[in-house]
A and B are shown apart, each in its own frame.
Chain A
Amino acid sequence: MIGQLYIEGDLRVGGVVEGEVEVTGDVEIDDMAKVKASLAGRDVSIRGQVNGAVTARKRLVVARSGTLVGDVRVARLVIQDGASFSGKVSMGAAAEAPAKKAEVEPVAAAAEPQAIAELPAPSAPAPPAEARSDGKGKSTPAAVVRPKSSPGKGTQPKGKPKRR
């Protein structure tokens, strides 16, 4: 499966999943499963391979056969001996409190550091006409589409990849 998945209920994954998975109930990743996706659920249990951020409103369990690479935001965390895990762990009151309200909250909280990085206060409302005449950032349509997030950031990714 590739794409976004939102389920009200429980989910059990036995195959390959890529994209984004959000579940109101529990998520179970079986031994043979390979997941390249962000996971969100109440109880999340991983016995297969997962590559992506995991949010567990209640508990995340990485079993001894499980492999998890990605940042984790959980209320409770169990990692069994033999399991493999790499990533940043955030847990405790900060992850627990907003979980009661809605699942939108923890997601927003998780994205907070990124959001700050991605959305630096639009300092100068650059008029589109100027941006075009500048031609600095190769004023492709994409650059015009994105000015609301940040004019500077819009040009950076275009110029930077070719620095080497």
Chain B
Amino acid sequence: METQEAVAESTPVETSGQSDSKRDGLKKFTLGPHDSLEGKLTYDGHMTVDGGHAEGEFRVGGNIEIGNGTVVKALLEGSNVTIKGEVEGKLTARDKLTLGKSAKMNGDVQVRRLQIEDGASLNGYVRMGDFEQQAGS
């Protein structure tokens, strides 16, 4: 991942002109208020849900962000997962899960690191530790 970043910065040949590539070279897409996603998604990049409708099973190589006021009913898997809205379903964060103050999480959670801010709501079983099986990488 870090080597990719270095390459991308020194020789921005492939990435030049592409608006959806970020600094770390991973793709990114955002679900806006008028967007809808239903079903099974496997994606090697970052995913942001900010408003809109999202339901199903999302396995993402990069990070997941659930924006404020967004309701997501899904199985989520990502590296860093940040929740500010409402999530119902199982969640796996290969690195860190952050629950913002407005977050409502309903479901079992498996994470490496966990941060919960005051005001967040969580109902479910929390499992913490390193992952033996490196899913998705």
**A interface with B by C-beta (< 8 Å):** 59, 76-92
Which one of B96, B122, B128 contacts A77 once the chains associate, using CB atoms below 8 Å?
A: B122
- Check if B9 is an interface residue, CB within 8 A of chain A: no
Additional A-B contacts beyond A81-B114, A86-B127 (13; CB < 8 A): A77-B116, A81-B113, A85-B126, A85-B128, A86-B129, A88-B124, A88-B126, A89-B122, A89-B123, A89-B125, A91-B121, A92-B121, A92-B123
CA–CA, A88 and B113, complex, Å: 16
CA–CA, A89 and B97, complex, Å: 15
Residues of chain B in range 83-134 having any CB-CB distance to chain A below 8 Å: 96, 113-129
User: From residue B8, how far is it (CB to closest CB) to chain A in Å?
Assistant: 28
User: From residue B94, how far is it (CB to closest CB) to chain A in Å?
Assistant: 16
Whether A79 lies near B125 (C-beta < 8 A) is no
User: From residue A56, how far is it (CB to closest CB) to chain B in Å?
Assistant: 12
Q: Chain A at the B interface: mostly helix, strand, loop or mixed?
A: strand
**What are 25 contact pairs spanning A and B, CB under 8 A?**
A76-B118, A76-B119, A77-B116, A77-B122, A78-B118, A79-B114, A81-B96, A81-B113, A81-B114, A81-B115, A83-B114, A85-B114, A85-B128, A86-B128, A86-B129, A87-B126, A88-B124, A88-B125, A89-B122, A89-B123, A89-B124, A89-B125, A90-B123, A91-B122, A92-B121
Q: Which residue of A lies closest to B96 (CB)?
A: A81
Whether A91 lies near B127 (C-beta < 8 A) is no
CA–CA, A84 and B115, complex, Å: 10
Residues of B within 8 Å of A82, CB to CB, are 113
CA–CA, A143 and B24, complex, Å: 65
User: From residue B123, how far is it (CB to closest CB) to chain A in Å?
Assistant: 6
Residues of B within 8 Å of A59, CB to CB, are 118
Residues of A within 8 Å of B120, CB to CB, are 77
Produce 1/0 per residue, B2-36, CB < 8 A to A: 00000000000000000000000000000000000
Residues of A within 8 Å of B114, CB to CB, are 79, 81, 83, 85
Q: Which residue of A lies closest to B128 (CB)?
A: A86
